[in-house]
């Protein structure tokens, strides 16, 4: 079974731009969660999607948004980029519940904001 | 406020040593505690614990949850250089209904 894939793997943007990251979950998985990982804050939960609906949301500003498609693929968008948005963005999928089952992580997208 | 605290933050040992990593938590609506290993990019799943006092084992790794003490430990015996990684503890549940991660313990195993 193919694992979680994320594209692109690396991205360089400038302040004020916007960016869209993509995540394809493991086949059959319907829950997709997004995390931001930085050296200072560690892994922080952004949001979770299940069956095309946002089910949970972390404490991030409205510039961070996402969506999920009918095939469970998910996209995350960050508008008006700030230097502090530089981070590794990880996507994880599970069958139905993010904390009652194992979450499988993708390799991440490394975003650098200049 | 939900939080997960891991200790120590970093640890250097020699091959063959036994290590114990700690995870303590304060979280509303506890559902599960998970351990992950992160070597380069993607965290990989190690254990999920939901019941207190039941040890989970996988080879040289084992973990146990103590709900009374609100903590868990991850033990690694006969460490190898390949065990060098960041070990993450995560709580399932909480006010956000998702995983809350600790900052991790960076383990370095010297030959």
Q: What's the pLDDT score for residue A99? A: 63
User: Would the CB atoms of A99 and B99 count as touching at under 8 Å?
Assistant: yes
Is residue B93 a contact partner of residue B32, using CB atoms and an 8 Å limit? yes
Tens digit of each residue's pLDDT (9 = 90 or more) over A37-76: 998 888 999 999 999 999 888 889 999 999 999 999 999 9
Closest chain A residue to B33, measured at CA: A99
Nearest chain B Cα distance for residue A58, angstroms: 6
* pLDDT tier at B54, thresholds 50, 70, 90: confident
If phi > 0 it is left, if psi is from -120 to 50 it is alpha, else beta; for residue B103 that is alpha
H or E element in which residue A89 lies = strand A87-94
Predicted confidence at residue A100, as pLDDT, reads 63
Contact B20, B77 (CB under 8 A): no
**DSSP of A68-86:** E-TTS-EEEEE-S--GGG-
A32 vs chain B: nearest CA distance in angstroms?
11
Query: Does residue B99 register a pLDDT over 90?
Result: no
| CB distance B87 to B9 below 8 Å | no
Q: Decide if B45 and A103 are in contact by the 8 Å CB cutoff.
A: yes
Q: Do B98 and A107 touch (CB under 8 A)?
A: no
């Amino acid at each position: 079974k193919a694992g979680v894939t994320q594209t692109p793997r690396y991205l360089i943007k400038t302040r004020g731009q916007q960016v869209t990251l993509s995540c394809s979950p493991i086949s059959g998985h319907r829950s997709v969660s997004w995390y931001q990982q930085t050296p200072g804050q560690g892994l922080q939960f952004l949001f979770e999607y299940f069956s095309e609906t946002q089910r949970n949301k972390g404490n991030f500003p409205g510039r961070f948004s996402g969506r999920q498609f009918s095939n469970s693929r998910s996209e995350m968008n960050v508008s008006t980029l700030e230097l502090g948005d530089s981070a590794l963005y990880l996507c994880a999928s599970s069958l139905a519940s993010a904390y009652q089952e194992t979450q499988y992580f993708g390799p991440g997208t490394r975003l650098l904001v200049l | 406020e939900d939080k997960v605290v891991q200790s120590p933050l970093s640890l250097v040992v020699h091959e063959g040593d036994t290590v114990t990593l700690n995870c303590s938590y304060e979280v509303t609506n506890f559902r599960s505690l998970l351990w992950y290993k992160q070597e380069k990019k993607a965290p990989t799943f190690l254990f999920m614990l939901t019941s207190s006092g039941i040890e989970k084992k996988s080879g040289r790794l084992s973990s146990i949850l103590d709900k009374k003490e609100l903590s868990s430990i991850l033990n690694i015996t006969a460490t190898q250089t390949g065990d060098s990684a960041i070990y993450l503890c995560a709580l399932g549940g909480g006010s956000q209904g998702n995983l809350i991660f600790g900052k991790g313990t960076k383990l370095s195993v010297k030959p």
